[in-house]
Amino acid sequence: MKTKRYLFFWVAIPAFIFALAGVVMGLWNAILPSVLAVRPLTYWQALGLLVLCRILFGGLHFRPWGGHRPGQWGWNEKWANMTEEERQQLRQRWQERCAKRAPK
């Protein structure tokens, strides 16, 4: 069972990346040459652009839960060390902040 899952991911993830490169190339070539007067991209340039964007904007870490570790900012420890009065004050401040942003 696990070998099928691993095989699926070893095939599906590269296939998705290569398909995404095709989408990037298609969008670039459909929009940017006429708007910004740039040259069309080849498929390999589009793939390289995806890799470059991943390095520059996403970093080189690959975490399955969205890019940060659970408890990375220490809220679990802060919350556990708060008194009930401090927790209530924090809840009140967040309710006030959220009420300001809520649509009327």
Q: Are 21 and 50 in contact (CB under 8 A)?
A: yes
Q: Kindly tell me the number of DSSP H helices and DSSP E strands found in the chain.
A: 4, 0
CA distance 99 to 88: 16
Which pLDDT score, from 0 to 100, does residue 64 have? 58
* Segments of the chain with pLDDT less than 50: none
Q: Does residue 76 lie within any of the structural domains?
A: no
Which pLDDT score, from 0 to 100, does residue 20 have? 93
Q: Does residue 79 lie within any of the structural domains?
A: no
Q: Does residue 83 lie within any of the structural domains?
A: no
CA distance 28 to 34: 10
Range of the domain at 38: 1-59
Q: Does residue 44 lie within any of the structural domains?
A: yes
Q: Are 14 and 20 in contact (CB under 8 A)?
A: no
Q: What is the tally of structural domains in the chain?
A: 1
Which pLDDT score, from 0 to 100, does residue 70 have? 57
Q: Does residue 84 lie within any of the structural domains?
A: no
